[in-house]
Amino acid sequence: MALNLNKVIIAGRLTAAPELKQTPNGISVLAFSLAVDRSYTKQGEERQTDFLDCVAWRQTAEFVSRYFTKGDPICIVGSLQKRSYQAKDGSTRYVTEVMVNEANFVESKASKSNNAPTAPTVPAAPATVVPEDDMEQFTLDEDRVPF
């Protein structure tokens, strides 16, 4: 049995205001790009950013176009898809896109606004320090580990 898995989860920022379009059959479609910072940097260099092309259809496209704008953080779930097309000069071009199945908010509207009050926070419980002598010794019974 072959395992086929093609799922990506990406958090980034919209590079432009989304423009919802309709196919000739009236299906909503939205093509957009996400700027995603790489999690590592080389010493002495600035952090690199990848720009990923994304496509959303139907309700997901309508959701993104309604609630997000340029610069907004967004988290998407989807799959990678590669396609080719003929350019005007006759050459074949290849594109890898994220086909978006889900789109999620990363931050609340209140946290985006500088003037909005911040949500109340629950005070943390005071830390309890346990003397080392009172701590139980933990031993791992390897016969009971399920893997």
Helix (H, G, I), strand (E, B), or coil: what is residue 127?
coil
On whether the 8-111 domain is CATH 2.40.50.140, my answer is: yes
Looking at residue 129, its amino acid is: V
End-to-end CA distance of the chain: 22
Report pLDDT for 94: 95
Share of the chain above pLDDT 90, in %: 63
pTM of this prediction? 0.69
- In the numeric block, the tokens 């931050």 are attached to 107
DSSP 43-74: TTSPPPEEEEEEEEEHHHHHHHHHH--TT-EE
* Domain ranges for the chain: 8-111
pLDDT > 50? residue 37: yes
Helix (H, G, I), strand (E, B), or coil: what is residue 132?
helix
Q: What is the pLDDT of residues 11-35, one digit of tens each?
A: 999 999 999 999 999 999 999 999 9
Q: Which of 17-31, 109-123, 131-145 has the highest mean pLDDT?
A: 17-31
Residues of 70-91 as b/e, b for ≥16 C-beta within 10 angstroms? eebbbebebeeeeeeeeeeeee
User: What's the farthest any 2 CA atoms get from each other in the chain?
Assistant: 77
